[in-house]
Structure 1
Amino acid sequence: MTRVLLVCISFCFVTVFLVRLLPVNSEECDCLRADVHGSPFYKDSFKDDGNAIPRSKDGHRLAILVPFRERFEELLQFAPHMKRFLASQDVDYKIFILNQVDRYRFNRASLINVGFLFVKSDFDYIAMHDVDLLPMNPNLKYSFPKDGPLHIASPKLHPKYHYDTFVGGILLVRREHYEKMDGMSNKYWGWGLEDDEFYVRIRDAGLKVSRPENITTGPENTFSHIHDRKHRKRDTEKCYNQKEVTRKRDRETGLKTVKYRISDVRQLTIDGAAVTVLNIHLECDHKSTPWCDCSGSKK
């Protein structure tokens, strides 16, 4: 009887050991997948270097939304830099890389709309954040914007854009304010102007943009702009009637009308900095925005 028992125990041990050695098919594992209509299943256990991220003292949670496509060199710098930069700030945050994987032209605004819908049940404010703009001055605070949108990349501080209505680069927005404005327009395929349209939405919603105060650095040393214009050219092409339509306030599209599919959600760690990657397929209404694909247009 004892010999039989020992054989059974040995068999079980060997079986478990061999199973643990078998490769895991990521397509069959739900551990990193998400409910595409809301937050990921692991929403209550956000991790950073294996340790749970504590809530900030004020109880607010920040989702840093980073529109993204084929900017891996910038991402390798961005993620660890933001981890170091925010380490001394009392901010409960998570970085979400909004990776556009469809065949259409890049649509920054729609990606932010998708990211917001994904995180809104667990985070009460967002940072609309360019991957190539790194904050350098430690006095730039990513704290909860109590009154209205907080434009961290102020035109007085941004290395390139200096007009008063500029709200691009890094903008913090409360959840209820983003919903009040119906998010951003979905008509901006290609590079540029979606931030200018969003400024009009902020104004029409009766909100006021605030900017950092008492910052002693200037445009040359407040941020590091790591975009290489020669190596990574922006998609500035205008086709069909794009130029005419995108110069107007869009009252037709926004957060409620964005059409998309999230194919999968992945966790990625870069030099100790944890990010969540959403692989996003945007949909295009070719009747209203044929410029989502300029390949068939007449030059």
Structure 2
Amino acid sequence: MDWCHHQRISCCKPKVRFTAIATPYRKLRSTTKYIFLLLLCFGFCLRMQMPRRLRYATSSDFTKLEYFETRIAHKITSNSRSNVKPLSNHAANSPCSNYPKKLFGNLTNTNMNTAKSWSAIESENPSINIGGQYSPRHCTAHFKVAIIIPLRNRDAQLKVFLAHMHPIWQRQEIAYKVFAVTQIEGSLFNRAKLLNVGVAEAIKDDNYDCYVLHDVDLMLENDKCLYWCHDRNPRHLAVHVDRFSYKRLDYKALCYQYQEPSTVYQKLRQILPKPLRQGLPMSRYFGGVSMISTRQFQAVNGMSNLYWGWGGEDDDLSFRVKAKGYSIENPYGRKCSFRMIPHDHEKQNAENPARQALGSYSAARMHMDGFSSLRYKVMGFSEHPLYTNITVDVGAPSREMLEFMLKYESEEIDCSRKMPWENDSTGYLT
């Protein structure tokens, strides 16, 4: 190097040119090596995901498959609050007929009060799934219905009721599920609040088209009275009951707050003396068995939570329905007749003396008393072969509410006076 530098001869130029050529070549060779290793790793990973060999399924494979299916089904049914639902095996079926073809018609000659064992009822209804749910196998039902039954200490009646009604609902080709909402002991019975709970729990379960608010002691006498939903107006099925000689029940409400204050009827009720009010319009009975769609139930804010004890909650619901512009329908006439199962009146379901006062001002508090103000605690949830039971604690009437009930036990209602729940500081609505 010293001699080349001394003679000023570029002896190192060939070496410089060789380095300039060799450096890109080394980079290309190392890059190719990395790409090859990457492809090799990718191929190995892909090979691990593929089956080692293909073969036909054998009988042992199907035995294993049945074993795991059984394990999975047992796991699903053992978890009472599982959100996993069995797949429908008739999803591709055509819709059911517009009118069921296997109806019997008049059922008054059948023995409805026969006490059967639970196992006998289950064997007679093999198509009912766990939790009391059913869907037609041969067609797709037009409606999905939640049947809600409020009760307490009515297990014997529930058995007779389900033995009679399950076959009817199946012949009517509806997809349905039965919810029995049981109130715990220790407080006055609150039917309306239990029905609100039933709707709230049914909404969590599935997307139902409508809800049937059904007393456990009423059994249908003609299966041509269809439990089909109707979105235009709510329906009242239990219009004709044997206990009331199959006559329509009408009640005279003292104040008609569901009408506009400027209407003639409202003014007459405030001016006329009580004996002259008898000729004014009456409210119709809306209890026993009622059907209401999801949209209608939300529009009226459900049922009132203030009816502790017996009576008044169904009239309150009818006032709410009318306040929202709906009418109550019964398209089947006398076909919708019911037989009442005899039973003793429960001591903790005493008559509510304030039911007239509460019903008279139903629409006035509708926006703040009902489904939106519902409070309850689920104490137990169990899915039985023929029904789903939900045991709840709905609380007890407040001290202010008890005082209000006792006050109206002997006092006449004044339609022009303000009601106590108009003051938000009171505890009437809790």
TM norm structure 1: 0.73
Partner of 1:3: none
Q: What pairs with 1:81-100 in structure 2 (closer than 5 Å)?
A: 81-100=164-183
SS of alignment partner, residue 138 of structure 1: coil
Change (3 A) 1:120 1:106: same
Partner of 1:48: 128
Partner of 2:221: 136
Question: Is 1:264 the equivalent of 2:363?
Answer: no
Partner of 2:238: 153
- The whole-number CA distance in structure 2 between the counterparts of 1:107 and 1:285 is 9
Change (3 A) 1:216 1:168: closer
Letter of the 2:236 partner, please give it: H
Q: Deviations over 1:249-289 (max 9, x none)?
A: 243310011110112211223xxxx1000011112451442
- The whole-number CA distance in structure 2 between the counterparts of 1:31 and 1:293 is 45
Question: Is 1:192 the equivalent of 2:311?
Answer: yes
Q: Deviations over 1:155-183 (max 9, x none)?
A: xx223262241111111110111011000
Residue 103 of structure 1, aligned match among 186, 199, 206: 186
CA contact (8 A) 1:104 1:292 kept: no
Residue 248 of structure 1, aligned match among 361, 378, 381: 361
CA contact (8 A) 1:190 1:236 kept: yes
Change (3 A) 1:216 1:41: closer
CA contact (8 A) 1:33 1:264 kept: no
Q: Which consecutive unaligned segments of at least 5 residues does structure 1 have?
A: 1-28, 35-39, 295-299
Residue 79 of structure 1, aligned match among 154, 162, 185: 162
Change (3 A) 1:101 1:284: same
Residue 394 of structure 2, aligned match among 274, 278, 282: 282
Give the percent of matched residue pairs that are identical in Structure 1 and Structure 2: 24
Choose between structure 1 and 2: higher helix proportion.
2
- The whole-number CA distance in structure 1 between the counterparts of 2:328 and 2:77 is 41
SS of alignment partner, residue 115 of structure 1: helix
- The whole-number CA distance in structure 1 between the counterparts of 2:77 and 2:399 is 37
- The whole-number CA distance in structure 2 between the counterparts of 1:247 and 1:52 is 38
- The whole-number CA distance in structure 2 between the counterparts of 1:109 and 1:43 is 29
Q: CA deviation at 1:116?
A: 0.5
Partner of 2:325: 206
TM norm structure 2: 0.52
Q: CA deviation at 1:234?
A: 7.3
Structure with more relative contact order (C-alpha pairs < 8 Å, separation 6 or more)? 1
Aligned Cα root-mean-square deviation (Å) = 3.1
SS of alignment partner, residue 283 of structure 1: coil
Q: Deviations over 1:197-251 (max 9, x none)?
A: 110000011111110335458xxxx32100324x756723447x67644553243
- The whole-number CA distance in structure 2 between the counterparts of 1:99 and 1:292 is 26
- The whole-number CA distance in structure 2 between the counterparts of 1:92 and 1:145 is 15
After superposing the two structures, state which structure 1 stretch, 200-209 or 277-286, moved more. Answer: 277-286
- The whole-number CA distance in structure 1 between the counterparts of 2:402 and 2:85 is 37
- The whole-number CA distance in structure 1 between the counterparts of 2:86 and 2:295 is 22
Q: CA deviation at 1:82?
A: 1.2
- The whole-number CA distance in structure 1 between the counterparts of 2:302 and 2:175 is 23
How many residue pairs get matched? 250
Partner of 2:7: none
Q: Deviations over 1:99-131 (max 9, x none)?
A: 001521110000010110111251121000000
Q: Which consecutive unaligned segments of at least 5 residues does structure 2 have?
A: 1-75, 89-126, 251-283, 407-430
Partner of 1:163: 249
- The whole-number CA distance in structure 2 between the counterparts of 1:199 and 1:32 is 39
- The whole-number CA distance in structure 1 between the counterparts of 2:351 and 2:133 is 44
- The whole-number CA distance in structure 1 between the counterparts of 2:318 and 2:221 is 25
- The whole-number CA distance in structure 2 between the counterparts of 1:107 and 1:282 is 8
CA contact (8 A) 2:181 2:198 kept: yes
Partner of 2:78: 31
SS of alignment partner, residue 87 of structure 1: helix
CA contact (8 A) 2:221 2:338 kept: yes
Q: Which has the larger radius of gyration?
A: 2
Change (3 A) 1:108 1:177: same
- The whole-number CA distance in structure 2 between the counterparts of 1:139 and 1:193 is 29
Letter of the 1:248 partner, please give it: Y
Partner of 2:253: none
Q: What pairs with 1:3-42 in structure 2 (closer than 5 Å)?
A: 31-34=78-81, 41-42=83-84
Change (3 A) 1:260 1:216: closer
SS of alignment partner, residue 78 of structure 2: coil
- The whole-number CA distance in structure 2 between the counterparts of 1:52 and 1:278 is 15
- The whole-number CA distance in structure 2 between the counterparts of 1:213 and 1:242 is 30
